[in-house]
Amino acid sequence: MVSSAVTEDAGRRAGRLEELYERHAPGAVRLAFLVTADRELARDIAQDAFVKVAGRFRHLRFPDAFDVYLRRTVVNLCISHFRHERVEREYLQRESLAASGVEEQPELGTRDELRRALQRLTARQRAAIVLRYYEDLSEHEVAAAMGCSVTAARSLVSRGMGTLRTIVRSEDR
């Protein structure tokens, strides 16, 4: 009697957590992928973010809070990943080498060109732009997701867009 009740309870608990994962993990992977441009890294970051947020179960009193905290954690993990100067420098070197090795440059404004330009931004700028233009967040929401002031968030987006514009123009010449 007791053991069957325990088994039922455990199954129900596992089911709820699994439902939470299935609902939120795909979006977290997409966000991480757009910021990191790395499929495996994105999957790992999304999973780690889920584990961090679900592992604590904080703030769930508020509707959508899980989403907000998951997004924020994904962004933090992405930025952390790129924070190490060496990682970022090697990445940029690799990207620039890859870019220089391409025989035919893509046309101005193509998806590849913009994608490569996006990856040349700092991780924080990249995250801010993805949050603003993919997640469609307001400046306040971008600031909340990135843990910075609204001014700083606005600055990240604006500087990121400025850099993108410069890169696109220079590659156009």
Q: How far is 133 from 138, CA to CA, in rounded Å?
A: 9
Sign of CA dihedral 150, 32, 111, 93: positive
54-60 contacts at long range (C-beta below 8 A, 24 or more positions apart)? 54/17, 54/20, 54/21
Q: Which residues contact 95 (CB under 8 A, 6 or more apart)?
A: 116, 119, 120
Q: Is residue 148 within the footprint of another protein (CB under 8 A)?
A: yes
Question: Which segment (36-44, 88-96, 97-105) binds another protein by CB under 8 A?
Answer: 36-44
Determine the residue type at 49.
A
Is the Cβ of residue 25 or residue 99 nearer to another protein in the bound state?
A: 25
- The values of phi and psi at residue 109, to 5°, are 80, 5
Considering the rule CB under 8 A, would residue 137 count as an interface residue with another protein? no
Between CA 33 and CA 37, with CA 35 as vertex, the angle to 5 degrees is 50
Site for another protein in 10-29 (CB under 8 A): 10, 12-14, 16-18, 21-22, 25-26, 28-29
CB-wise, 9 or 90, nearer to another protein?
Answer: 9
Query: Per rule CB under 8 A, is residue 92 in the interface with another protein?
Result: no
Give the footprint of another protein on this chain (CB under 8 A): 2, 6-7, 9-10, 12-14, 16-18, 21-22, 25-26, 28-30, 33-34, 39-40, 42-44, 46-48, 50-52, 54-61, 72, 75-77, 79-80, 83, 109, 111, 114-115, 118, 124, 129-130, 133-134, 146-149, 151-152, 154-155, 159, 161, 164-165, 168
